[in-house]
Amino acid sequence: MIFRAKYGVIPACDVKNLAELDLLVKSTCSLDFIVGYKIGSLLALSYGIEKVVTVIRNYTKLPIIYDHQKFGTDIPAICSGEILRFLKKAGIDAIIIFPLSGIETLRSSVEGCFKNDIVPIIGGEMTHPGYLTNQGGYIDVTQPRKIYLDACKLGVKGFIIPGTKIKKMEEYKEEIEKTISQPYFLFPGIGKGQGGDIVAAFKAIHPYAGYAIVGRGIYAQDNKKEAAEKLWEKVVGYF
């Protein structure tokens, strides 16, 4: 477990530039329920991961999670090799992996993360409609469950589950808890962008550790600190 609290919020830093990132981190890092920051491919491609990490490290030592959007969709050698060594050197603490390329990519990338002291956080189902075959998508409805359970067998403890799909969150939690003890869950899709209910999401993963990934509901607001506090007020009485 890399997070300092059992429950919390992880801002998704899907901002346009380093100045916006600076303001976001400066405004929120002192809040005790903020447990880390998720950076994505837009900032990484625009400025380089090292510069992005430096901006965050100017204010906080909280964990930095890299979301390649989506890592795990190439051959095993690519997903387990030099890229992970580079990410560790750049200061990344954890990486989100959706191993849609198959079991060997999952196995190799998880093993590569452990070797490079990076925490693997495994996703199987995404938040948006049209992802699974029962909604016209390309991923068979049975496969997210298989991804999560295969990851459990490899020693993974952290999982991305869809914060917009409460019933699915409960189902995945129940499957995972049969296999390993003390998993923890990160759930995107919360708040203004995709409309996920933060209270319902935390209830869905009870009694395990959980972390809401929040994007526009924080970074797109004029007062980012106040927006984060108001969001957290909705759930603080629940715990």
**Domain range annotation of the chain:** 7-236
Residues shown for the chain = 239
- List CB contacts of 48: < 8 A, sequence separation 6 or more: none
Say which CATH superfamily domain 7-236 falls into: Aldolase class I (3.20.20.70)
User: In b/e form, how buried is each residue of 8-28, taking b as 16+ CB within 10 angstroms?
Assistant: bbbbbbbbeeeebbeebbbbb
- pLDDT mean over 231-239: 86
- List CB contacts of 198: < 8 A, sequence separation 6 or more: 163, 190, 191, 212, 214, 231, 234, 235
**Please, which pLDDT band fits residue 23 given cuts at 50, 70 and 90?**
very high
Q: Cα–Cα distances in Å, from 140 out to 10, 72, 143, 204?
A: 29, 17, 6, 23
pLDDT digits (tens, 9 = 90+) for 93-148: 999 999 999 999 999 999 999 999 999 999 998 888 888 899 899 888 999 999 99
Residue 51, pLDDT score? 97
Which tokens sit at 127?
Answer: 């938040």
Whether the per-residue pLDDT at 59 is higher than 80: the answer is yes
**How many whole angstroms separate alpha carbon 230 and alpha carbon 209?**
21
213 φ, ψ (degrees, to nearest 5): -90, 120
Residue 70, pLDDT score? 86
Q: How far is CA 135 from the centre of its chain?
A: 24
- pLDDT mean over 29-42: 96
Least confident of 28-32, 79-83, 206-210: 79-83
Whether the per-residue pLDDT at 92 is higher than 90: the answer is yes
- pLDDT mean over 151-162: 98
- List CB contacts of 227: < 8 A, sequence separation 6 or more: 217, 218, 221
H or E element in which residue 238 lies = none
**Please, which pLDDT band fits residue 194 given cuts at 50, 70 and 90?**
low
Which tokens sit at 239?
Answer: 């715990």
Whether the per-residue pLDDT at 199 is higher than 90: the answer is yes
**Please, which pLDDT band fits residue 193 given cuts at 50, 70 and 90?**
low
Residue 192, pLDDT score? 65
**How many whole angstroms separate alpha carbon 161 and alpha carbon 84?**
23
One-letter amino acid at 127 equals: T
Asked if 56 contacts 18 with a C-beta cutoff of 8 angstroms, the reply is: no
Whether the per-residue pLDDT at 21 is higher than 90: the answer is yes
Residue 175, pLDDT score? 96
- pLDDT mean over 28-45: 96
Asked if 105 contacts 68 with a C-beta cutoff of 8 angstroms, the reply is: no
Mean pLDDT of all residues belonging to the chain: 94
Asked if 164 contacts 198 with a C-beta cutoff of 8 angstroms, the reply is: no
- pLDDT mean over 7-29: 97
How would you classify the pairing of strands 184-190 and 119-123? unpaired
Q: DSSP 3-state assignment of 185?
A: strand
